[in-house]
């Protein structure tokens, strides 16, 4: 782990020593990222954060790459706990698992993206950049699974008596693009809108869904089939 002078400080929570070392090297060699915290388990990461508070390396991170199959505490629960205490912290899952239950669980826990470990290094960096551009990146196979979850008639629906939010057709288009992991600029290009118009629609989506982030909006869209 090199001295942190890059624009974005990234933390890594990964128990596989070889893969962890590869992530650290990838981040430290990118011009706009640097690895600022490394933990081999979520238990260790949360214990250090609780013990050292703002002095903990993880406290200075803007984004955490989180494995799911961790010893002691899984990545989904760790994501949920970190998001509860540090809602502005971006968390991107990086895992070998691509089954619907884990994908949905991670997104509903607040994950800002879901990437597979087989993602090529250059693509991995582009996905992380997309997070800072407002996106919620999903590797292609994961995106396909998310879209199937949205289409599945047996999937979750709003609880009885709870009215579905009255999103406009354009807001649904924007929300659908967010579910696919597109960044604001990509949404604007795809829909033929200005980025300011996209931001206006996103503010409307947040207000109507009573959420405060892309991850929360995507989570509700999947759970209630809104897009």
Q: Residue 1 has what pLDDT?
A: 58
Q: Is residue 56 part of a domain?
A: yes
pLDDT of residue 3: 53
d(CA 195, CA 75): 33
Q: What is the pLDDT of residue 219?
A: 78
Domain span at residue 197 reads 156-224
Q: Does residue 3 lie in a domain region?
A: no
Query: pLDDT tens digits for the chain (227 residues)?
Result: 555 445 899 999 999 999 999 999 999 999 999 999 999 999 999 999 999 999 999 999 999 999 999 999 999 999 999 999 999 999 999 999 988 888 888 888 889 999 999 999 999 999 999 999 888 888 877 877 776 776 664 544 444 444 567 899 999 999 988 888 788 888 999 999 999 999 999 999 999 988 888 878 887 887 777 86
CATH of the domain at 176: 1.10.10.10
pLDDT of residue 145: 77
Kindly state whether residues 36 and 117 are assigned to the same domain. Answer: yes
Q: Does 135 share its domain with 198?
A: no
Which domain-ending residue is among 148, 170, 204?
A: 148
In this structure, the answer to whether residues 86 and 195 fall within a common structural domain is: no
Whether 16 and 47 map to the same domain: the answer is: yes
CB-based contact 117:141 (threshold 8 Å): no
User: What pLDDT is stored for residue 69 in this prediction?
Assistant: 93
Domain boundary among 128, 148, 168: 148
Choosing from 148, 179, 210, the residue where a domain stops is: 148
What's this model's pTM, rounded to 2 decimal places?
Answer: 0.74
pLDDT, position 163: 56
């Amino acid at each position: 782990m090199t001295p942190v002078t890059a624009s974005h400080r990234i933390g890594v929570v990964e128990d596989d020593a070889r893969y962890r070392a590869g992530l650290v090297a990838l981040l430290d060699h990118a011009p706009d990222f640097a690895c600022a915290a490394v933990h081999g388990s979520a238990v260790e990461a949360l214990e250090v954060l609780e013990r050292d508070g703002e002095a903990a390396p993880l406290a200075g991170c803007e984004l955490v790459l989180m494995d799911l199959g961790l010893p002691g505490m899984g990545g989904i629960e760790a994501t949920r706990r970190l998001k509860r205490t540090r809602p502005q912290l971006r968390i991107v899952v990086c895992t070998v698992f691509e089954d619907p239950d884990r994908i949905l669980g991670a997104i509903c826990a607040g994950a800002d993206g879901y990437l597979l470990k087989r993602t090529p290094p250059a693509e991995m960096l582009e996905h992380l950049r997309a997070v800072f551009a407002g996106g919620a990146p999903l590797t292609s196979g994961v995106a396909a699974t998310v879209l199937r979850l949205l289409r599945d008639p047996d999937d979750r629906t709003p609880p009885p008596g709870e009215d579905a939010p009255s999103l406009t057709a354009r807001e649904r288009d924007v929300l659908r693009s967010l579910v696919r992991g597109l960044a604001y600029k990509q949404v604007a290009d795809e829909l033929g809108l200005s980025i300011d118009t996209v931001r206006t629609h996103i503010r409307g989506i947040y207000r109507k869904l009573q959420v405060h982030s892309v991850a929360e909006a995507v989570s509700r869209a999947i759970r209630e089939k809104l897009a």
